[in-house]
Structures are given as structure tokens and as C-alpha cells.
A = this chain, B = another copy of it.
Amino acid sequence: MKTDPDSHKRMTQRHKEGFEKKKAAAQLEKGLLIVNTGTGKGKSSAAFGMGMRILGHGMKLGVVQFIKGALYSAERDFLGSHANCDFHVVGAGYTWDTQDREADMRTAARGWAEALRMINDPSYDMVILDELNIVLKYQYLDLEEVLRVFAGRREMLHIVVTGRHAPEALIEQADLVSEMRPVKHPYKEQGVKAQKGVEF
């Protein structure tokens, strides 16, 4: 394949200029409210990736995992064993396994108490609330209270919320929102079963 080397140079130069311009225009430093939602894969992994970066910078990370599953256990082990990471798992399996709304609400409240403790403790730089969106969707917690606590957080604290079906009001309030969208999935389209390492 032949390509004009000058055209490549112009293209890469344009990319670089666009990126530098955007970065230069962005001056404000503040803690971000980040939401990873959508029905695709990678919401929690992307959050845990940010968590690892926080730890890599010597900063302190808190994680509350609102729904415990077989999923992400390797990432949990990696993060949870780090001295600067406070990792709390609440709940006893997926809520649709327990089918007891009162019990699920108590479980969610325990998770929220841990979240409040971390959010109000100035030693934390980032708090990840894994699968909080599901808990909010089932209305196990009061959305208004959650949003009020997020809005009143310390200026430099990052909060990361994951889970499908993020409430509209949370998306409104968030600084950074990503949607993970499944384009093709082997369960549905090819009869391929859940694979070790990929799905669990």
C-alpha cells in the first residue's frame, strides 16, 4: 500500500493540534462525578482501572461493591490487597436471587453507610460505588439523598458510579458519563457459553 508521507504528516499534525488545543482550554481542576453505564461490558473494569491509577499515584481509594457476584473477583483481589485501598463488598449475591425487598434495602443501606464514611473522610481521593445504579434503579436507596451527598462532596474527591440503567438525574449531575454498548454478544448470537477469564 502506498501513501503520501506528507498527507500522513498533515493528518497526525492535525490530530496533535486538536488534542493540545482541547487540553489547553481545559483549566479547571476538580473532583469529578463519573458514571459508567449501559448494557455492555467494561463498566466496572473501567472504574477499577481508574482506581488502579489512583493507587499508582500514591492516592487513597475506597470501593463499595453494592452487588457481589462471581464477577470481577480477580480485580477485587488485586485492588483489595493494596495498602491504600479500602474495599468493601456488601450484599449476598445478585438481588434477584434473594427476592426479599426488605432484606435488599437493608443491605443497600449498609453499603451506603460505608460510602458515606468514605465520602466524608478527607483521606480518600476517589470512591468507587460499583453497581450503585442497579441499587438506585430498584429504589433500594433514596436517589435524592444520594445526589445531595454527591453534590456536597469535598472539592477534590472523585466519585465513580457504575451499573446499567443510571438514573437520568444522576447523568444530569455527572461530569463524565460513558455508555458501554454491546455491539455483538456471543451468548445471544452464537450460543457460546460464558468463558473463564472473559465473563468471570
- Residues of chain A touching chain B, judged by Cβ–Cβ distance below 8 Å, are 1, 3, 5, 8-9, 12-13, 15-16, 19, 22-23, 25-32, 34-38, 40-50, 52-57, 59, 72-75, 77-78, 94-99, 101-102, 125-126, 138-139, 142, 158, 171, 174-188, 190-198, 200
Instruction: Count copies of this chain in the complex.
Output: 2
**Also in contact, A74 and B97, with CB within 8 A (given A44-B49, A46-B42, A195-B29):** no
- Of the candidates A78, A102, A176, the one having the most CB atoms from chain B within 10 angstroms of its own CB is A176
Instruction: Assess the B197–A184 pair: CB atoms within 8 A.
Output: no
With a cutoff of 8 Å between Cβ atoms, the chain B residues found around residue A44 in the complex are 49
Complex contact A185–B191 (CB within 8 A)? no
Q: Check B195–A158 contact: CB distance below 8 A.
A: yes
B181 lies within 8 A of A176 (CB): no
> Knowing A27-B193, A158-B198 touch, does A72 contact B96 (C-beta < 8 A)?
no
Q: Is B181 a contact partner of A178 (Cβ separation < 8 A)?
A: yes
Q: What's the least CB distance linking A30 to chain B, in Å?
A: 6
The residues of B that contact A45 with a CB separation of less than 8 Å are: 42, 45-50
Ranked nearest first, the 9 interchain pairs of A and B with the lowest CB-CB distance are: A45-B49, A56-B74, A42-B46, A12-B96, A54-B197, A177-B183, A177-B184, A26-B193, A52-B74
